[in-house]
Structure 1
Amino acid sequence: MNTFYNIPVIKQLDLESFEANSLSYRWLQIVSNGIGQPIFIPVMIAKGKEEGPTLGLTAVVHGNELNGMSVIQKVFAELDLDKLSGTLVGVPVMNIPSILLNERRFLDGADLNRIMPGKKDGNRSQVYAHRIVNRIVKHFDYMLDLHTASFGRINSFYVRADLSSKIAYQLACIQNPQIILNAPPKDGTLRGAAADYGIDAITVEVGDPDRFQKGMIRSGLSGVFNTMAYLGMYETKIEQEEEKPIICKRSYWIYCDKGGIVQVHTKLTQKLKKGDHIATVRNVFGEVVKEYYAPEKGVVIGQSVNPVGQTGSRLIHLGIV
Structure 2
Amino acid sequence: MSEKDILEILGKKVALGKSATVSFNVAKLHTQNTIDVPVIIERSKKPGPTVLITAGIHGDEVNGVEIVRQIISKGINKPKKGTIICVPVINVFGFIHMDREFPDGRDLNRVFPGMKTGSLASQVAFKLVTEIVPHADLVMDFHTGGADRFNAAQIRIIKGEKNLKELAEIFGAPFVLYSKNLNKSFRNTCYKLGIPVLLFEGGKSFNIDNTITNTGVNGIKRVLDHLEMLNSKFKVSQPKKPCVFIAESKWIRASHSGMFKHTVTINSHVDKGDVIGHITDPYGSFNHSVKAPNKGFVFNINESPIIYQGDAIFHITTALKND
TM-score by length of 1: 0.87
Q: Contact 1:181/1:319 (CA < 8 Å) preserved in 2?
A: no
Question: Which residue, out of 278, 282, 285, partners 2:276?
Answer: 278
- What is the identity, as a one-letter code, of the residue corresponding to 1:74? Q
Per-residue deviation at 1:263? 2.0
What residue is the counterpart of 1:13 in the other structure? 10
Q: Partner of 2:162 in structure 1? A: 166
1:283 deviates by: 2.8
Q: In structure 1, give the amino acid aligned to 2:129.
A: V
Greater displacement, 221-230 / 272-281? 272-281
**Which amino acid in 2 is paired with 1:66?**
V
1:274 partner amino acid = K
Label 1:82 to 1:315 Cα distance change in 2 as closer, same or farther (>3 A).
Answer: closer
- Corresponding position of 1:269: 267
Q: Pick from 302, 305, 319 the counterpart of residue 303 of structure 2.
A: 305
User: How far apart, in 2, do the equivalents of 1:41 and 1:69 lie?
Assistant: 13
CA offsets 1:157-205 (integer angstroms, 9 cap, x no match): 1111124211111221122211111113234322222111111111112
- Cα distance in 1, alignment partners of residues 132 and 24 from structure 2: 9
Q: In the superposition, relative to structure 1, how do residues 31 and 252 fare at CA in structure 2: closer, same or farther (>3 Å)?
A: farther
Higher mean alpha-carbon deviation, 40-49 vs 219-228, is at 219-228
Aligned pair partner of 2:285 in 265, 284, 287: 287
Q: Secondary structure at the match of 1:122?
A: coil
Shift of 1:14: 5.4
Aligned equivalents of 2:201 and 2:142: distance in 1? 6
Report the 3-state secondary structure (helix = DSSP H, G, I; strand = E; otherwise coil) of the residue aligned with 2:301: strand
> Which residue of structure 1 aligns with residue 90 of structure 2?
94
1:207–1:216: 8 Å Cα contact kept in structure 2?
Answer: yes
Letter in 2 for 1:311: Q
Q: Which residue of 2 aligns with 1:230?
A: 226
Q: Distance in 1 between matches of 2:274 and 2:199?
A: 29
C-alpha change, 1:109 and 1:294, in structure 2 (3 Å) is: farther
Change (3 A) 1:80 1:63: closer
**8 Å contact 1:31–1:40 — kept in the other structure?**
no
Where in structure 2 are the equivalents of 1:66-215 lying within 5 Å?
Answer: 66-79=62-75, 84-215=80-211
- CA pair 312-130 structure 1, distance change in 2 beyond 3 A: farther
Aligned with 1:51: secondary structure? coil
Distance change (3 Å), C-alpha of 1:163 and 1:36: same
| CA distance in structure 2 between the partners assigned to 1:83 and 1:44 by the alignment | 13
Deviation at 1:275, TM superposition (A): 2.3
Per the TM alignment, residue 227 of structure 1 is displaced from its structure 2 partner at its CA by 1.2
Task: Name structure 2 gaps, 5 residues minimum.
Answer: 1-7
The question of 1:248 aligning with 2:246 is answered yes
User: Which secondary structure does the structure 2 equivalent of 1:274 belong to?
Assistant: coil
Q: Is 1:29 aligned to 2:19, yes or no? A: no
Quote the RMSD (CA, aligned, Å): 2.4
**What secondary structure does 1:249 align onto?**
strand
How big is the shift at 1:24?
1.6
Shift of 1:57: 0.3
* TM-superposition CA deviations, 1:128-167 (whole Å, max 9, x none): 3222222322321101001112221222111111242111
Name the structure 1 match of 2:44.
48
For the 8 Å contact 1:48–1:81, the answer to whether it is kept is no
Judge conservation of contact 1:58–1:90 (CA < 8 Å) in 2: yes
Contact 1:49/1:81 (<8 A) preserved:
no
Task: Indicate if the aligned counterparts of 1:57 and 1:144 stay in contact, CA closer than 8 A.
Answer: yes
What's the offset of the Cα at 1:34?
Answer: 3.6
- Cα distance change of structure 1 residues 30 and 136 upon mapping to structure 2, 3 Å threshold: farther
Q: Secondary structure at the match of 1:46?
A: strand
TM-score, normalized by length of structure 2?
0.87
Question: Per the alignment, in what secondary structure is the counterpart of residue 164 of structure 1?
Answer: coil
Note the alpha carbon deviations across 1:66-87, whole angstroms, 9 max, x for none: 2222222222233378852111
Contact 1:118 1:127 in 2 (8 A): yes
Q: Which moved more, 1:190-199 or 1:91-100?
A: 190-199
Partner of 1:259: 257
Q: CA deviation at 1:61?
A: 1.0
Deviates more, 1:99-108 or 1:235-244: 235-244
Deviation at 1:260, TM superposition (A): 1.5
Q: In the alignment, is the contact (CA less than 8 A) between 2:55 and 2:88 conserved in 1?
A: yes
**Gapped regions of structure 1 (runs ≥ 5):** 1-10
Looking at structure 1, the residues matched to 240 and 220 of structure 2 have their Cα atoms a distance apart, in angstroms, of: 18
Cα distance, 1:235 vs. partner? 4.7
